[in-house]
Structure 1
Amino acid sequence: MSPAAAPVARDAELARLQEHLRRAHDEGPHEVVVSGPSGAGTSTLVDHLAAGHDGVVLRARGASWEGGSAYAVLAQLLGRPVDAANPLAAAARLTDALGADSRAPALVVVDDAARSDVESLQALSSAVHHAPGARFLVVLVERTGDTTVPPATARLLAGVRDRVVVPPLDARGVRELAAARGISLHPLLADRLCAHTGGLPGHVVALLDELTPATWSAFDPALPAPARVAAEVRDQLAVCSAPARELAEAVAVLGAPTTLAEAAAVASLDDPLTALDEGVAAHLLRSVDERGTSSVELATPMSAAAVLATLGPARRAAAHRRAADVVADPGRRLRHLVAATALPDPGLADELAALADERAATGAWAAAAELLAQASRLTDDRRRREERLVRAADALVGAGDALGASALLPELESLRETPMRNAVLGYLAVVRGRPAEAESRLRRAWDLVNVERDPDVAATICQRWVLHSLARCRGEDLVAWADRAAGLVPEESPAAVEAAAIRGLGVAATGHPAAALAAYERLAERVGHGAQAQRIAMARGWLLLEQGDVDAAAAALESAVPTDFLGGSTRISLWARAWLARAQFVAGDWDEALGTADDGLDLADRSGMRLGGPLLAWTRVQVLSLRGDEAAAARTLQDWDAGPRDYEMMRVPACLARAAYAEAQGDYAGVIRALSPLRQPWARGAIDEPGAWPWVDVLANALVIEGQLEGAEELLVPHERRAAERGHRTTLARLGYARGRLLGAVGDIGAARRSFETSLEILQDLPLRLDRARVSFAYGQTLRRAGKRREADGVMTTARDIYAALGATTYVARCEREIRAGGLHTTRLDRHVDDLTPQEQAVSDLVAAGLTNREVAAELFLSTKTIQYHLTRVYAKLGIRSRAELAALRGPTSGADS
């Protein structure tokens, strides 16, 4: 039987079941329970297993009306009635029917096992335990959460030792499931659908099939309950008393979370506890007691949607008006009034806009966006309606919801041209990584604005220029626009505070990091808390990382990652994750760095903010490359690469990611190709500031290895001078190892030694383990090339130990090759019978692995002439004449080191 299409996102569970089948083949019969909530896809999973199985397959399904009939399920399996004196006799009938198949074990599947008769389950268990010579697997499919299972059946199922739990899908799995059905969901809608359905594939598929395709192309559609769930909820409501129904309706209107007191007030109930007990017993309501406060919610979001669907428009509006009188929070009150209002209401619109201004003043852009969108819908004056819609889109971008703002693009572009409209479109272009469009939009906005009449709008445009200048790595422009914004509005206004939060990065980019850090200290004291504090913490952490204070940087950046500030910005959280991943990486916490980068890339994908993606990808590529996972690193490079049309803030880390990938493969010509764009005019200014981007030492190292010594000298000199002027220790250490490489290459081993030792001394008290390993590796290679084999061995061993602790398998192998090439740990008895020297062994291993002479030279830090000399001697000693013969002879050995 050919297998059906594999269920989405169930590879791990399917692999576990297939492993159980292999065990049944090798070890004899056993049983496993496959469990999951209704709709999780347990039956689909087992169906796929059965469809692809080559052996005998017997299937049955438990039914509640057969639960009292002895051996009813066993009769289904055997295809005939079972008349047995006891379960052991019945088990013998089953094992006889299964027979013996030398190819594959038999598969016995019982779906809805909790509804099976007890005798059949006992017989199946007896068959497993009393037929050691047979080969079969019993799979019992159980739906969790069923409270009607008889105790005896529940005990039998609980006694099965092996279990495969089928969890709900996450948002990524929901997207994959939709894609398998020909529907493309944008990430935020996948998040909503996942939360709405609890991630249960059955409910996801039902909604995908029941709703029109247009639903899934909308940005924020209303999600109803699937028809089956809606019918179940109607049945639950039908058996409830009037008070219980009214309580459920009030909870649905109020939304989760809500207190029992609020729900009782909306439903006008004097005795809500009795109604709550009834709703809980009907599996319609759920009571939650948190910190002494009784909260109540519908069983699932789908249940809430189904209850709301039973209310007509008039009843629903009346309930929302009652809710508005009950809730204390101003935002919740206004949301209920909006839900109760079908026609324009200028007074309510003004209230919404006023509260939006309050939220915006604290940097709570997500809340401000929702309020402004509602205000726009309820505004009857066209000019004010359009103005509020534009501001709503601006707040969405500020919150980091680029997808939400992009959904408004057609409507925004149809509005009359105003300075603010162009500023919003430019702002959106910035976070989407489109510099040419952003510059055009922002220039037009500045040309149109009347600074004297609309200073607030002008300041907002200035703040957007600040972000654009930051993404272009133009420090002087950034400071100029930030100062312009500060001169237009009070210092406590959102535009002024946001500009000030970024201004320090521009000050540092122009060579004044100490002044920038001092300014951040003052700004943090003034702002103190709230969403704006998130921005300051992120920028300060970014700057601390550039200055080499890794621990302080990580602490500041970690505080800026959460968005549980009042409306904290996803955009700021994304940047905080990007720089936190870098801090974790340079400190050697690579597992944490990879996790942070993965979370950030997922957030960038879900939010539509491409601007920060390459920075996150750089860390991910670097970790994966150093750990030897070239395929995953290459996929990340492809997904988040950046080119000439993108922002400098995207292009620089993309170059560094490509260089990291090439360097981990020993492709130093590739490193030069990847980093050469950073020597072009577009990459000057802030990109050259010490600590901003660690590219100069990587490129100089590659140039030396490739024999381009004059180019390395030309590159290093101005950067060494600037690092010395700034007193930037980490940059001096990194450039020092590249200088040591260069000095060693020209034969000045004394000066090279001093350069390496100075770098190691600087790094001694810094938590930069990878940098120490890089310096030691280059130092060891240089010493070995100079014939200082014993010194080289000690230094290279240190490098290997650090790389091993980091999990940098690619460099551990290189270090071990270097140590072998030094020959101090190799006796004649350890050598091949052909008596190759350690250097010849290292060369032959690499050539056998497929490297060219030039690549081997780069790997071992030798000249190509020296490699050819060693290779000629290898051929003579081994009695061969070609690289192919060498690969055939030495392949297994070389593979162990690659």
Structure 2
Amino acid sequence: MDFDPTGLVGRDRELGELAMFLDKAASDGATVLLTGEPGVGKTALLDTTAELALAKGTRVVRGSGVEYETDISFAGLHQLVAALPYELGRLPPSMREALEVALGLGVGPAPSRITVLNAALSLFEEAAKEQPLLLVVDDLHVVDHASRSVVGFVARRLGGRRIGLIGAQRAESGEPLRATGLTEVEIGPLNDADALRLLSRRFAHLPPRVLSTVAREAQGNPLALLEFAGSTSVSGDRNGSGAGWASGPGRDVRALYGARVERLPQRTRDLLLLAVLEGSGDIGVLEVAGGPDGLGSLAPAERDHLVMVAENGRTVRFRHPLVRSAVVDGSTGEQRRSAHRRLADALADQPERRGDHLARATTVPDEAVAAVIESAARSSLRRGDADGAVVRMRRAAELSPDRADRRRRMSQAAYIAVWITGHLETSHEIMREVRGDPAARSLSAAAAAGYLVLVTEGDADTAHALLMKAIEQAPAPSGPPHGELETALFTLTIVSEFSGRREHWQPLVDVLARFPEASPAAAMSLGRIHHDLGSVTDDTLRRLDEEISRLKGRTDADVVVRTALAASYFDRLPGCREAVSRVIRDGGAVGASMPALVFAALDDLYAGRLQASADAAAELIALCEETGYHLFAQGGHYVAAMAAAQRGDLDACHEHCGNLRDWSGPRRLRRLENHAHQALARAALGAADFETAYRHATAICAPGTLPPFNHEAVLSAPDLVEAAVGSGRHTEALRHADAIRDAGVGRLSSRLALCAATITAMTSAPEAMAERFEEALALPGIEQWPFEAGRAHLAYGERLRRQGLNRDARTQLTAARGLFEELGARPWEDRAAAELRATGMTRTSRGKAGEALTPQELEVARLAATGLSNPRIASRLFLSPRTVSSHLYRVFPKLGITSRAELRDALEALPPEPPAGL
């Protein structure tokens, strides 16, 4: 089928480029972005490209930005998805539900932004299975932010797919879209010859002098050329002087469209206004909102070529964006409000869109309307549109007749802005307005103000005072706290955690004592965890594991961050990693992404991925500096300091610790001060500077004590005990080991179990030492914690060497050196190597790899690979534990490994034994 793009004059170059674009898109995917001033012909080129695509057998799906919907997330995507109902139904349920929830067409857990982006791409791939697909998006400069992110995401991933994406935006819009991957084509004005040729073709009846004047005044803008000349033709002024195009507002194309709209019947103008404000061009909605026989009123606008109805009869599209502007400009405020009310009635089954129209239709406080808009805001939050939730909640507050409701809604908008979206200035702006209200402060206001002052200024005193006053004045609930009270208690818990001072955490503990047990991620549970880690019950751990398992289907940033916070105290961050990563990648949750980055960095640190943890810490620090969330930057400095301490980069460690102490010291944030002491103690231990390490470790807590609201007292316990032993303070070391054992923290996670068992072994009597270390190294799951395992091997080897058991010591020290080498923990590797040299072993002794194992060595290795300790292996084989250790000492270098954790894989890699008798 041939296609002749008649009517486009002077666009041969552009049409040639667009034809090549379509050919490439149909075979391998392609993108193009048309830019230029209003009226230069971008929409005409989009239309022509769409017609050419249809002629080539390509399916076309169109959408357009609407300036009245720029604050409605995914409004633009809604238009594209609505055109593909069959393909939407063929998507996997998880993807279909993500799109339906994001677009307000369904209910369910809020999908993350990345989930929606991937689902949209999959939908377009599905649509392109049977024939190539062209996505056409006009007016990108007024497409909502969320939909623009879809455009960019899809554009960057079209290679190898039979999908084309073409968009258009105004050159002066200030919205840079080059980074989205669209290839830009600038559309300029027509030259003088082409302008005259266009006018002569369309307006042959006008004198050449008039055409020349029109061409000069329109400055090559095709829309202006046609509309100015058309206005002159209609006015009958063939001399070009009069009230037509030549003077006044007639020279404004928008005004000319306004004049054409003004000539339409009132019912037609009313229907056009509904179409503009509805945004998507959905004929079904217009039919309901327009009333009986309403659609018949479109005919005059169709005949005047102001609008077009799609061939399928489902949508109406304006000829040009300026027509929409002219329709709105020609309406009164009351007419617009009336149109919004009718649209709200027509959209009763879509709560967010209904709320948006009610918000625009209402001018005086109305609680019924405010409640609908608040419900729409919560719906937005559930589907991951935090920005939309803030906008809607603020509007709900504006329409609240009761001042208490108004404060509550404004404060909730402020809290969402600071906690999830990361819009500090928006939150400050809202709170300034709330503070201007002389009435008593609400729980929501206290939570928002307290969180703001904590994360930006680190002012725990002010935050605590605000929150405690509001909580004490709030009525006590009959069951577990929820809603505003839960939010306030959660914020108070965070304040008390960073403060670490008794005057802050004791009032919180007293308040929490009034309430029953709640979910592990609730404020009550988090507060109790902070207060006394060892008191956490097995049932709480079981329920926490269940909460973590459900994170796979949860994308609510608030739920993910709270659950990960609880998980971080029990070494369960690996189970949260996928959900935490979604929060980090989701551009709509910048505020929540900062604590999420802390958890990702900690997960990497604990797992021994030191470079990854340092990279995440650097990203966090940069993001906090950019956004003003100074408190979370300290979390980045802590992780960076710990990674540097373990890698032996003492300058970097001291620099990060200096930042921590300089910021937290004047604010008396004890937890951050403890973070600095912990990193400095770890760095000193790597250098075997036990006195310095002891000084920093005991700044966190005194030997033999585990103070409440001091998690670092548990985490740094191995540092304190090792520093005490190394500096000759055996009584203090034993006292602290007893405190850790009595607290029962070893049952909370495999890492804490390994730390507690290592501490016990380090302080055991010489005759029990080997058995205690063997028990520690036989604990299940310790391979997840390579640094802690390396410390246990190192401590074991050191004590064996000091007892003169050099051959046994070498086995442990070799394992320690290998683990630290893999981690890049250079000072700790050097410590192990120094101990090995003291046993008389040199690095070359590891060069026995490839030697065959003796039968007894093979048997010992197999039993060790099952997880049995040396004493248990000895008992089974009727050997001494020392002999077992000696066999393993010889086995490791022969197999080319450095730890028991590698035994199973190494044994499986051995060649099969020859059959007996050969």
TM-score, normalised to structure 1's length? 0.51
RMSD of aligned alpha carbons = 6.6
Partner of residue 511, structure 2: 481
Partner of residue 607, structure 2: 587
Matches within 5 A, 1:447-526: 447-449=472-474, 461-462=488-489, 464-471=491-498, 481-482=511-512, 484=514, 498-499=522-523, 502=526, 505=529, 509=533, 511-520=535-544
Tell me the distance in 1 between the aligned counterparts of 2:450 and 2:389: 19
Tell me the distance in 1 between the aligned counterparts of 2:362 and 2:704: 54
Any idea what SS the aligned residue of 2:463 has? helix
Partner of residue 837, structure 1: none
For the 8 Å contact 1:509–1:685, the answer to whether it is kept is no
Partner of residue 843, structure 1: none
Matches within 5 A, 1:679-828: 679=701, 684-687=706-709, 693-723=714-744, 730-738=751-759, 750-762=767-779, 765-825=782-842
Tell me the distance in 2 between the aligned counterparts of 1:509 and 1:450: 29
Matching residue's letter, 2:414? A
Partner of residue 185, structure 1: none
Matching residue's letter, 1:445? A
Any idea what SS the aligned residue of 1:793 has? helix
Deviation, structure 1 residue 398: 4.8
Partner of residue 183, structure 2: none
For the 8 Å contact 2:420–2:558, the answer to whether it is kept is no
Partner of residue 430, structure 2: 408
Matches within 5 A, 1:298-313: 312=329
For the 8 Å contact 1:581–1:596, the answer to whether it is kept is yes
CA offsets 1:510-554 (integer angstroms, 9 cap, x no match): 61331322454787899997667x656655555555445x4xx41
For the 8 Å contact 2:782–2:789, the answer to whether it is kept is no
For the 8 Å contact 1:463–1:498, the answer to whether it is kept is yes
Deviation, structure 1 residue 773: 1.2
Given the alignment, which residue of 678, 688, 708 partners 1:656? 678
Matching residue's letter, 1:812? E
Partner of residue 310, structure 2: none
Tell me the distance in 2 between the aligned counterparts of 1:476 and 1:402: 32
For the 8 Å contact 1:423–1:464, the answer to whether it is kept is yes
Tell me the distance in 2 between the aligned counterparts of 1:555 and 1:455: 26
Any idea what SS the aligned residue of 2:784 has? coil
Any idea what SS the aligned residue of 1:562 has? helix
Deviation, structure 1 residue 753: 3.6
Show structure 2 runs of 5+ residues with no match. 1-9, 18-30, 36-44, 46-144, 154-168, 176-185, 191-218, 228-256, 262-268, 308-313, 846-918
Deviation, structure 1 residue 263: 12
Distance 1:305 1:412, change over 3 A: farther
Tell me the distance in 2 between the aligned counterparts of 1:249 and 1:401: 36
Matching residue's letter, 1:406? H
Given the alignment, which residue of 385, 391, 409 partners 1:388? 409
Matches within 5 A, 1:74-113: none
Any idea what SS the aligned residue of 1:408 has? helix
Tell me the distance in 1 between the aligned counterparts of 2:691 and 2:835: 21
Deviation, structure 1 residue 798: 1.5
Matches within 5 A, 1:278-677: 312=329, 318=336, 321=340, 329-338=350-359, 348-356=369-377, 368-379=389-400, 384-399=405-420, 401=422, 403=424, 404-420=426-442, 421-432=445-456, 433-449=458-474, 461-462=488-489, 464-471=491-498, 481-482=511-512, 484=514, 498-499=522-523, 502=526, 505=529, 509=533, 511-520=535-544, 538-539=561-562, 541-544=564-567, 546-548=569-571, 550=572, 553-563=573-583, 574-590=594-610, 592-594=612-614, 596-601=616-621, 604-605=624-625, 608-629=628-649, 633-634=653-654, 636-641=656-661, 643-644=664-665, 645-664=667-686, 667-677=689-699
Tell me the distance in 2 between the aligned counterparts of 1:612 and 1:576: 10
For the 8 Å contact 1:537–1:557, the answer to whether it is kept is no
Deviation, structure 1 residue 315: 8.5
For the 8 Å contact 2:544–2:567, the answer to whether it is kept is no
Distance 1:248 1:595, change over 3 A: farther
For CA contacts below 8 A with separation 6 or more, give which structure has more relative contact order: 2
For the 8 Å contact 2:371–2:396, the answer to whether it is kept is yes
For the 8 Å contact 2:554–2:579, the answer to whether it is kept is no
Tell me the distance in 2 between the aligned counterparts of 1:323 and 1:638: 59
Deviation, structure 1 residue 416: 1.4
Tell me the distance in 2 between the aligned counterparts of 1:368 and 1:470: 29
Tell me the distance in 2 between the aligned counterparts of 1:699 and 1:306: 74
Deviation, structure 1 residue 715: 3.2
Distance 1:509 1:384, change over 3 A: same
TM-score, normalised to structure 2's length? 0.50
Tell me the distance in 1 between the aligned counterparts of 2:330 and 2:697: 62
Any idea what SS the aligned residue of 2:841 has? coil
Deviation, structure 1 residue 683: 8.9
Tell me the distance in 1 between the aligned counterparts of 2:758 and 2:748: 17
Any idea what SS the aligned residue of 1:762 has? coil
Show structure 1 runs of 5+ residues with no match. 1-64, 69-114, 116-142, 149-190, 210-227, 280-293, 829-898
Matching residue's letter, 2:664? G
Distance 1:632 1:270, change over 3 A: farther
CA offsets 1:631-670 (integer angstroms, 9 cap, x no match): 5555544555553535455444343234344445555444
CA offsets 1:452-491 (integer angstroms, 9 cap, x no match): 999976666555444444555688865653464669xxx9
Distance 1:229 1:412, change over 3 A: farther
Tell me the distance in 2 between the aligned counterparts of 1:249 and 1:823: 91
Deviation, structure 1 residue 684: 4.7
Tell me the distance in 2 between the aligned counterparts of 1:601 and 1:259: 45
Report percent identity of matched pairs: 19
Deviation, structure 1 residue 799: 1.6
For the 8 Å contact 1:399–1:569, the answer to whether it is kept is yes
Tell me the distance in 2 between the aligned counterparts of 1:703 and 1:547: 26
Distance 1:570 1:739, change over 3 A: same
For the 8 Å contact 2:584–2:596, the answer to whether it is kept is no
Deviation, structure 1 residue 803: 1.8
Matching residue's letter, 1:437? T
Distance 1:603 1:619, change over 3 A: same
Matching residue's letter, 2:777? L
Matching residue's letter, 1:705? G
Distance 1:588 1:524, change over 3 A: closer
Tell me the distance in 1 between the aligned counterparts of 2:595 and 2:343: 39
Deviation, structure 1 residue 771: 1.1
Tell me the distance in 2 between the aligned counterparts of 1:500 and 1:230: 63
Matching residue's letter, 2:574? A
Tell me the distance in 2 between the aligned counterparts of 1:230 and 1:323: 39
Any idea what SS the aligned residue of 1:418 has? coil
Matching residue's letter, 1:585? L
Matching residue's letter, 1:701? E
